[in-house]
Amino acid sequence: AQWVGQSGVHLQPLVDALKADLLAHPVLHADETPVAMLDPGAGKTHRAYLWSYSVGAFDPIKAVVYDFADSRAGRHAQAFLGQWRGTLICDDYAGYKALIALGVTEAGCMAHARRKFFDLAAQGQSQIASEALEAIGQLYGVEREAAELDIDARQRLREAKARPILERLHAWLLARRTQVPNGSGIARAIDYSLKRWAALTYYLGDGRVPIDNNWIENQIRPIALGRKNWLFAGSLRAGQRAAAIMSLIQSARLNGHEPFAYLKDVLERLPSQPYSRIGELLPHRWQPTACA
pLDDT value of residue 55: 96
Global confidence as pTM: 0.90
162/223 same-domain check: no
Final residue belonging to a domain, choices 197, 227, 242: 197
The answer on pLDDT for 108 being more than 70 is yes
6/95 same-domain check: yes
121/93 same-domain check: no
Mean pLDDT score across all residues of the chain: 91
* Tally of structural domains, the chain: 2
The answer on pLDDT for 227 being more than 70 is no
| Residue 42: pLDDT band with limits 50, 70, 90 | low
Above pLDDT 90, what percent of the chain?
A: 76
pLDDT value of residue 226: 61
The answer on pLDDT for 40 being more than 70 is no
pLDDT value of residue 230: 59
The answer on pLDDT for 5 being more than 60 is no
The answer on pLDDT for 234 being more than 80 is no
Q: List the CATH number of the domain containing 6.
A: 3.30.420
pLDDT value of residue 124: 82
| Residue 100: pLDDT band with limits 50, 70, 90 | very high
pLDDT value of residue 23: 97
Q: Flag whether 71 is in a domain.
A: yes
* 62-79 pLDDT, tens digit each: 999 999 999 999 999 999
The answer on pLDDT for 125 being more than 90 is no
273/237 same-domain check: yes
* 165-199 pLDDT, tens digit each: 999 999 999 999 999 999 999 999 999 999 999 99
pLDDT value of residue 236: 80
269/141 same-domain check: no
218/97 same-domain check: yes
Higher per-residue pLDDT: 182 or 34: 182
The answer on pLDDT for 232 being more than 70 is no
Q: How confident is the model over 122-134, as a mean pLDDT? A: 92
> Which residue range(s) make up the domain with 155?
110-197
Question: SS3 sequence, the chain?
Answer: CHHHHHHHHHHHHHHHHHHHHHCCCCEEEEEEEEEEEEECCCCEEEEEEEEEEEECCCCCCCCEEEEEECCCCHHHHHHHHCCCCCEEECCCCHHHHHHHHCCCEEECCHHHHHHHHHHHHHCCCCHHHHHHHHHHHHHHHHHHHHCCCCHHHHHHHHHHHHHHHHHHHHHHHHHHHCCCCCCCHHHHHHHHHHHCHHHHCHHHHCCCCCCCCHHHHHHHHHHHHHHHHHCCECCHHHHHHHHHHHHHHHHHHHCCCCHHHHHHHHHHHHHHCCHHHHHHHCCCCCCCCCCC
